[in-house]
Amino acid sequence: SKIKDMSAEVVDNNPYSRLMALQRMGVVENYERIRDYSVAIVGIGGVGSVAAEMLTRCGIGRLLLYDYDTVELANMNRLFFRPEQVGMTKTDAAVQTLSGINPDVVLESYSLNITTVKGFETFLASLKAQSSHERSTGVNLVLSCVDNYEARMVVNQACNELGQTWMESGVSEDAVSGHIQLLVPGETACFACAPPLVVASGVDERTLKREGVCAASLPTTMGVVAGLLVQNALKYLLNFGQVSRYLGYNSLKDYFPAMEMRPNPQCSNPACVLRQKEYMESKPARDAAAKTK
Ligand code: ATP
Ligand code: ZN
């Protein structure tokens, strides 16, 4: 593969040479593995589109893109989409741009609403496709880049059902703060474990948008949140550094609050409670495995 050719010390015009340097410098053990990974991105708006571009430039194997919307002129204060793409579905416009940037990435476009019965079915089926075992998915990570509570709860439901690790992201309606969060079913709090507005108020009240409010948006805040999200996605996939559990971003103070949220045994989501039980039951095996390391 193109990546493999770059194990030599030379720096040439290969787009992967600077990425393979991460391996030579000891940051990443095996960068080439990125070709084997699939990432699903739900919401190809201000954060999701930029996250998709970053993963594409990093040489991710496969990207599954979900969004129900079309590109509008009002989106031009964000990064990624261009005026000539107005009217196209966001997922098709994204595939157009991303395939031009890196033709090695396998791109799947799903223009659908994940909160409808049919949309949810297609969403679940696409996550399960290409999986090697019965109760596993064909993707390594799901990134939620949607802008509303209902869609987040649906991603939460799908990931709890499938035992799928995912990362949630958000930008506040006043556009000056945001957050990312890692959700590992059974191990960390799920999106339903703690009422998100209560959780958010402890860190940042306005990290989640309200319905029917004309929200502000800035390409800067969205770019920072997309960068934090993909940086942690890379750490998770390529197994380097520490993956953030919850990381807030307050741009007015350049303050980054970090915290950890444990699962709630009384969570209202039955699939979450099931995953918590499995996680507890597998604890002895995990402890034993950790000891032999
Ligand atoms: P604005 O807030 O100005 O309307 P936006 O709708 O593009 O902009 P962003 O925060 O930039 O919002 O991106 C969120 C993305 O998530 C949007 O592209 C939106 O279409 C998508 N999205 C939200 N809910 C769903 C859903 N249920 N199914 C599929 N995509 C969704
Ligand atoms: Zn839960």
* Structure confidence at residue 210 (pLDDT): 63
Residue 57: what are its φ and ψ, rounded to 5°?
Answer: -70, -25
**Pocket residues for ligand 1 (CB within 6 Å)?**
43-46, 66-69, 74-75, 90, 113-115, 146-148, 151, 215, 217
Helix then strand then coil, % of the chain, to nearest 5: 40, 15, 45
In angstroms, how far is the first alpha carbon of the chain from the final one? Answer: 32
Q: How far is 1 from 166, CA to CA, in rounded Å?
A: 29
Distance 229 CA to ligand 2 centre (A): 21
Distance 55 CA to ligand 2 centre (A): 28
* Closest ligand by atom to 156 CA: 2
pLDDT in tens, the chain (293 residues): 556 555 555 556 787 888 888 988 889 999 999 999 999 999 999 999 999 999 999 999 999 999 999 999 999 989 999 999 999 999 999 999 999 999 999 999 999 999 999 999 999 999 999 877 666 789 999 999 999 999 999 999 999 999 999 999 999 999 999 999 999 999 999 999 986 554 554 444 445 556 666 889 999 999 999 999 999 999 999 999 999 999 999 999 999 999 999 999 999 999 999 999 999 999 899 888 888 76
Which atom, in ligand 1's list, is nearest to the CA of 74? 3
* Structure confidence at residue 215 (pLDDT): 84
Is there a catalytic annotation at residue 214? yes
Q: How far is 215 from 268, CA to CA, in rounded Å?
A: 30
Q: Of these residues, 190, 214, 267, 272, which one is catalytic?
A: 214
The ipTM of this complex is 0.96
- Which helix (H) or strand (E) segment holds residue 272: the answer is helix 270-281
* Structure confidence at residue 254 (pLDDT): 96
**Mutation to probe ligand 1, out of 73, 145, 146 (largest number of atoms < 8 A from CB):** 146
Please choose, from the candidates 15, 11, 10, the residue with its C-alpha nearest in 3D space to the C-alpha of residue 34: 15
* Structure confidence at residue 226 (pLDDT): 98
Number of Cβ within 10 Å of residue 260's Cβ equals 10
